[in-house]
Amino acid sequence: MIILDIAERHKVTKINKLRSLAKYYLTNVGAPASFRKIANFTGISPNSVERYSNHLNDAYMIFFVKRFSYSLKEQEVNPRKAYAIDQGLRNTVSFKFSEDLGKLYENTVFLKLYRGDGEVYYYNGKNECDFLVIKGGRLHSRYRSAIP
């Protein structure tokens, strides 16, 4: 998938870096991360992280959820959460020591909301919320996927 759908299409020559980034996202599903933080961790330049991330998103392998804010600038500068289109791929590729059921459930909820007709966000402020859905310019629903 990485080679055919992304590397060849976008003429990416550093395929190992692209694979490393995909593995990072699949391992850290539902965790907020900035391109700069990922660049520091993976050793990939921030510009390449952003470019490769957009390629992964364009190939529908990884989806990004922005932090909700009434300010567009705030949405763009805050870390994003990544979610996987395929739970099986995530389970096969990610680096983990346990089943990560909480992450799997959160990813499943995201996929259900994504297939709806609203825009999906997360909120991390005074009251944290895993998902906010905006439909028709209005806050439609709030979802908390954490398992007690």
- Domain carrying residue 21: 2-143
Q: What is the pLDDT of residue 106?
A: 92
| CATH at residue 27 | 1.10.10
Say how many C-beta atoms besides its own lie within 10 A of residue 23's C-beta.
14
Looking at residue 97, the DSSP 8-state letter turns out to be: S
Q: The whole model's pTM is what?
A: 0.85
148, part of any domain: no
126, part of any domain: yes
15, part of any domain: yes
72, part of any domain: yes
Q: How many domains does the chain have?
A: 1
C-alpha distances in angstroms, 49 versus 36, 41, 55, 59, 79? 8, 11, 10, 15, 13
> What tens-digit pLDDT sequence spans the chain (148 residues)?
667 778 888 888 888 999 999 999 999 999 999 999 999 988 999 999 999 999 999 999 999 999 999 899 999 999 999 999 988 778 777 776 667 788 888 999 999 999 987 899 999 888 888 898 988 878 765 555 543 3
C-beta separation of 108 from 121 below 8 A: no
Relative to beta strand 138-143, strand 129-135 is antiparallel
| CA 135 to mean position of chain CA atoms | 20
Helix, strand, coil percentages, rounded to 5, for the chain: 45, 20, 30
Q: What is the pLDDT of residue 136?
A: 80
